[in-house]
Structure 1
Amino acid sequence: MFYFNPYAIPPFLASLLIISLGIFVWQKNLRSGINFSWFLVCFSMFIWLLGDASLFSTKNEILASFLTRVIYIGISAIPINIYFFVKNITKSAFKNIWILWLAYLLVMPIIFKTNLIVGQPNVFFWGFYPKAGFYHWLYLIMWASLFVVSTLNIYNQISKYKIINDGKKRLQYSFWALAVGGILGSLDFIQKYGIELYPFGYFCVPAIVCLITYAIVKHNLMDINIAVRKGFVYSILIAAITAIYLLLIMVIEYLFREIIGYRSIIVSLISAFIIAIIFNPLRSKIQNFIDRVFMGKLPQEIVLENTLLKQEVERSERLKTASTLALGLCHEIKNPLTTIRTFAEFLPEKYKDEDFVKKFAKLIPSEVERINSIIKQLLDFSKPAPPSFRNTNIHQLINEVLIFLNSEFLKKHIKVEGADENLSLSIKIDPPQIKQALLNIILNAMEAMPKGGVLHISTQVGRSNYLDIRISDSGCGIPKEDLKQIFDPFFTNKDSGTGLGLAITHQIIKNHNGSIEVESTLDKGTTFTIKLPLERLEG
């Protein structure tokens, strides 16, 4: 039914590459309309290319006729899915998409049941190939028109941008890829009208798909002109090598067939292996040449530079943190030291003054304890103890914290909601550290409600196998400009406090491979969300 045909290799490899890129883009963001619509485009191309590869590899006319029509399932869907994709990236309304799919469903029976659009396949030197029916020209006009409308839609959207930003770059990227790809890909229709020219769209289309995939996933990391030039030139050179590679396979196979008198798949595979070894150094040299011309450096040089740059950034961050800690420490211990210094200066003169001695006898120990507390918190932040993980009932731990603070809640007229001591959910954590993190957040919430209010605590198991702990208050809220700094050491807007509580909390959650987020609205309240991984779930 099927046989090994070297001419089927390009469409087969292209189909695998394109569907892989489509799946890769979609799984990057399953909820994104852009990513999903691009997956549909890739899936349509996959049907077309895999159908061509299968068609080239059969000698059965009945099967070839059926495969020819299967191919048009993918070909017909390509412009519709591209239109859908363009509507997503331009954020336009989907007004007529249902009409296009209705037309698609109406055309399919005509393709499968008649020869009006697709006739019996042509026979070329590379194998069977679809043949245009009497009304194929009308089908082709509709196909091309939808492609042109989609491309012009992107162009019109680009013209609305007054400045060059990531959004405009992505649209420019998509416009040129679709324009060039549409022209080169549509040239594969000419063989359907009896022109015996091997379709080279199999080499061009994957390059276009790679470019748009890059625009979707990493469009803000590289200048568009560099990406486009590198992508096109590199793809063309690789296509040329691939063509030579396949040609040599066919020549060697032909010589063996003529000399020995039979056609051997084993010989073909051995030949392919030998040629791959021979041409691999050339491929590496071409890649290095392209990287030097368009990137200025070899890949390994770029990796080394990136590594050195990362190390430099890390050093700068460490120095910045050390500077912040030093300044914060100086600020926090300045007042206690001033008190101690005042006592030391006046002690020789007033050591017989009972009121003076009595006053400072109470003040000095409290100020020393304050300095000791600051240093202890600083050590906890700078050199945190590694977590000692064990299975812990998280709801029981939350209730222990609330019971510990119960008298403070009553004193400050704070109502606690949401906590349920009857729930049982065990996860692997360090109980004392998580208890400290919860205490720090709840104490901050209490300080934000000096006249009383509501503290709401809830837990929820998320879809990504994480436990979410939400702590909300109805306090004064946090200014928007301060939200980015609240986890920085020594950052505080309060008259008392060191500003280390939330920094330590952030460090604890990070050491648990979790994360902490904050949302706040002035005069309405603040919500902290702690996300902890569910390594083990019970109850």
Structure 2
Amino acid sequence: MQLNPFAISSLMLILAMLPMTIAVLAKGRTLEARLHSGMNICVLIWGTGAFWFSTTQNPDIALRVWTGTYMAVLFIPVFLFHSLVPMTGYKITKILLPFIYGQAIIFAVLTALGKMTTDEGARLFFDSFYWPIGSHVIYPASFVSWMIIFSTTTIILGFHFFQSRPEDKKPLYLLLAGMPLGCFGGGMNFLPTLGLDIYPYGNFLVPIFYLMLSYALVYHQFLDITIVLKKGIVYVLLIVIISAMYVLSVFMLQPHFGKIFGSSSNMSEMMAALLLGIIFAPMRLGLEQLFDSTIFRSYNDKIAREKQLMEYELVRSEKFKTVSNITKGIIKEIQTPLAAIKTCSEVNRQNLENEEVLRNSAQKIDQQVDHINTLLHQLLKFSNPSSPKTEQANIYDVLEDVFGILKHKMTENNIELETHFNTKNSILLKIDPTQIRQTICNIIINAIEAMPEGGTLSITTSITKSSDTPGTVVGDFFEIDITDTGRGIPPEGLKSVFDPFYSPTAKRAGLGLSIAHRIIKEHKGHIKVKSELNKGSSFIIMLPVTVTTRT
């Protein structure tokens, strides 16, 4: 087998179109995509057959292969017309389609019957490969018909281009630029069969036309193929083109290297391949970068804009969700004390002369007003958070303050406190002592109310390495584990436990845990919860360790 320019151009055509053919066959779902697949298959048959009959030295094989491939060639402009022209909306399409398919079928049958060539068979063309001689009437008629359909498609697309709005013209530029290349390049392949000694160099234009057509159809979404597949196809085609150029360059330069170095054929081929490999390797990388910065630049910008918009919508959605939860929580929390105040007011009106009843009602009203005031105070803190005023503070002093504040409440509720500290030494952390004290108080109060019949509250401290806790930043953390033996939290409630006014029971709901969560985040720490229904819950606070002092 001897490679020649026509065989190389056919090989380029095969390599250039094979990825796109497979992609469209696998992913194309529309009628246009399937018609485009039909054209791809016909072109692929031509490229394969042309490579075969241009490299064989047997004239009979060359004739039979050419006959088989020519039947596919007849349908190339037919599928091209049917896949492109209907998108213009011209009514003439429906009128012309039966005639276009009919003539292709008739000529294909005549080709199969051997009427497309003369009895002389195939002749040696330019002392290189065998090519059949066409009949005097039928073959020229098929050639004229082929050119008319191809040209008609181009003309209709041209009319559609000039009648389109400016924003609709962009996808048509590449189509109109490629159509003359395909018509001229493909038309040159008919000339040897007509008896004209003109080498079919135009076959090199066919893969270029095909690439332009495929890019226009895919990139501008005429076919239903995703952008990920588009980029894959473009890069595969890029590699194919460079590989074909590489092979062609080696083939053409090998004789010159043989003359220069006076070496054997194998040595000159190796020298040519090595030199061109050094040139083509960086060229491929450069072209990929060029494609990313030009062809796919708009797509990358679009993805960035869509990502930014999605992030904005997500934040906006979360804000609305938070506002909704807060509103519902406020209504629910205020309804109870307002109902109690109204009840007390009714009792007062009915017992104006009973001082004891009036005194008790006034006390209850004060309690309910205090409850509303506390709720509004929490809401004010939540909606207008103050930045932490950090200082070096001993975390154990903060814990002892909390125990002192809540000692009476724990005794009242029959709560046994257990502490397991990792050291008796002072641990200095860069924190806002007031905010951390508030956070721990909120969590412990939540734990106490989860044990209405009493229980055990366990406080454990430790130093945790970041490697022991997935998802945390690099560094050490001071860990405070607050565990109760209460009701626990349902599994479906764990992801909502820090939402405003969330409560696993109807007894108490508020902003305490939400505020605690935000305070820990502002201290660049982490807070997580583990719970088992009817067995208890654990709230784990992790604060970054900056300074450790041992006394």
TM-score (norm 1): 0.51
Residue 316 of structure 1: CA displacement? 1.9
SS of the equivalent of 1:120 reads: strand
Which residue does the alignment assign to 1:152?
A: 155
Q: Tell me if 1:320 matches 2:316.
A: yes
Which residue does the alignment assign to 1:201?
A: 203
For 2:491 and 2:157, the matched residues in 1 are separated by: 53
Letter in 2 for 1:36: R
For 1:276 and 1:433, the matched residues in 2 are separated by: 61
Letter in 2 for 1:317: E
Which residue does the alignment assign to 2:17?
A: 18
- Whether the 8 Å contact between 1:257 and 1:263 is mirrored in structure 2 is no
Letter in 1 for 2:10: P
Residue 148 of structure 1: CA displacement? 1.6
Q: Cα distance 1:177–1:289, how it changes in 2: closer, same or farther (>3 A)?
A: same
Residue 187 of structure 1: CA displacement? 3.6
For 2:199 and 2:51, the matched residues in 1 are separated by: 16
Letter in 2 for 1:213: S
- Whether the 8 Å contact between 1:117 and 1:132 is mirrored in structure 2 is no
Letter in 2 for 1:197: Y
- Whether the 8 Å contact between 2:246 and 2:280 is mirrored in structure 1 is no
SS of the equivalent of 2:167 reads: coil
Residue 58 of structure 1: CA displacement? 0.7
Equivalent of 2:335 in 336, 339, 358? 339
SS of the equivalent of 2:201 reads: coil
SS of the equivalent of 2:17 reads: helix
For 1:194 and 1:57, the matched residues in 2 are separated by: 20
Equivalent of 1:140 in 132, 140, 143? 143
Q: Tell me if 1:48 matches 2:50.
A: no
Letter in 1 for 2:331: N
Which residue does the alignment assign to 1:174?
A: 175
Which residue does the alignment assign to 1:276?
A: 277
SS of the equivalent of 1:37 reads: helix
Name the stretch that deviates more: 276-285 or 346-355: 346-355
SS of the equivalent of 1:281 reads: helix
- Whether the 8 Å contact between 1:34 and 1:89 is mirrored in structure 2 is no
For 2:35 and 2:44, the matched residues in 1 are separated by: 14
Residue 62 of structure 1: CA displacement? 1.4
Residue 186 of structure 1: CA displacement? 2.4
Residue 60 of structure 1: CA displacement? 1.0
Which has the larger Rg? 2
For 1:64 and 1:157, the matched residues in 2 are separated by: 41
Which residue does the alignment assign to 1:94?
A: 94
Residue 328 of structure 1: CA displacement? 2.0
Equivalent of 1:77 in 57, 75, 78? 75
Q: Cα distance 1:210–1:134, how it changes in 2: closer, same or farther (>3 A)?
A: same
Residue 217 of structure 1: CA displacement? 3.2
Q: Cα distance 1:211–1:60, how it changes in 2: closer, same or farther (>3 A)?
A: same
Deviations 1:295-330 (A, max 9, x none): 6xxx8x999877865664453233112212123224
Residue 339 of structure 1: CA displacement? 2.2
Q: Cα distance 1:102–1:304, how it changes in 2: closer, same or farther (>3 A)?
A: closer
For 2:50 and 2:200, the matched residues in 1 are separated by: 12
Which residue does the alignment assign to 1:186?
A: 187
Q: Tell me if 1:33 matches 2:31.
A: yes
- Whether the 8 Å contact between 2:253 and 2:272 is mirrored in structure 1 is no
Q: Cα distance 1:283–1:147, how it changes in 2: closer, same or farther (>3 A)?
A: same
SS of the equivalent of 1:128 reads: strand
Q: RMSD over aligned Cα, in angstroms? A: 4.9
Letter in 2 for 1:107: F
Residue 77 of structure 1: CA displacement? 1.4
Which residue does the alignment assign to 2:107?
A: 107
Residue 274 of structure 1: CA displacement? 6.0
For 1:239 and 1:194, the matched residues in 2 are separated by: 29
Which residue does the alignment assign to 2:384?
A: none
Q: Percentage identity across aligned positions?
A: 14
Deviations 1:418-437 (A, max 9, x none): xxxxxxxxxxxxxx999xxx
What is the aligned length? 343
Residue 198 of structure 1: CA displacement? 5.1
For 2:208 and 2:96, the matched residues in 1 are separated by: 30
Deviations 1:262-288 (A, max 9, x none): 866x98588546633442223434554
TM-score (norm 2): 0.50
Unaligned runs of 5+ in 2: 223-232, 352-356, 376-489, 493-551
Residue 84 of structure 1: CA displacement? 1.8
Residue 145 of structure 1: CA displacement? 0.9
Q: Tell me if 1:123 matches 2:122.
A: no
Deviations 1:234-289 (A, max 9, x none): x999979955752433442686699999866x985885466334422234345546
For 2:100 and 2:174, the matched residues in 1 are separated by: 25
For 2:242 and 2:329, the matched residues in 1 are separated by: 71
Which residue does the alignment assign to 2:499?
A: none
Deviations 1:489-528 (A, max 9, x none): xxxxxxxxxxxxxxxxxxxxxxxxxxxxxxxxxxxxxxxx
Which residue does the alignment assign to 1:214?
A: 215
Name the stretch that deviates more: 143-152 or 205-214: 205-214
Q: Cα distance 1:315–1:102, how it changes in 2: closer, same or farther (>3 A)?
A: closer
Letter in 2 for 1:199: Y
For 2:105 and 2:307, the matched residues in 1 are separated by: 58
Which residue does the alignment assign to 1:506?
A: none
Q: Cα distance 1:331–1:218, how it changes in 2: closer, same or farther (>3 A)?
A: farther
Which residue does the alignment assign to 2:56?
A: 58
Residue 59 of structure 1: CA displacement? 0.9
Q: Cα distance 1:244–1:272, how it changes in 2: closer, same or farther (>3 A)?
A: closer
SS of the equivalent of 2:197 reads: coil
Letter in 2 for 1:105: I
Q: Cα distance 1:110–1:161, how it changes in 2: closer, same or farther (>3 A)?
A: same
For 2:80 and 2:119, the matched residues in 1 are separated by: 22
SS of the equivalent of 2:281 reads: helix
For 1:18 and 1:255, the matched residues in 2 are separated by: 32
- Whether the 8 Å contact between 1:110 and 1:116 is mirrored in structure 2 is no
User: What does residue range 308-457 of structure 1 map to in structure 2 within 5 Å?
Assistant: 312-340=308-336, 342-343=338-339, 346=342, 349-350=345-346, 352=348
Letter in 1 for 2:150: F
- Whether the 8 Å contact between 1:47 and 1:73 is mirrored in structure 2 is no
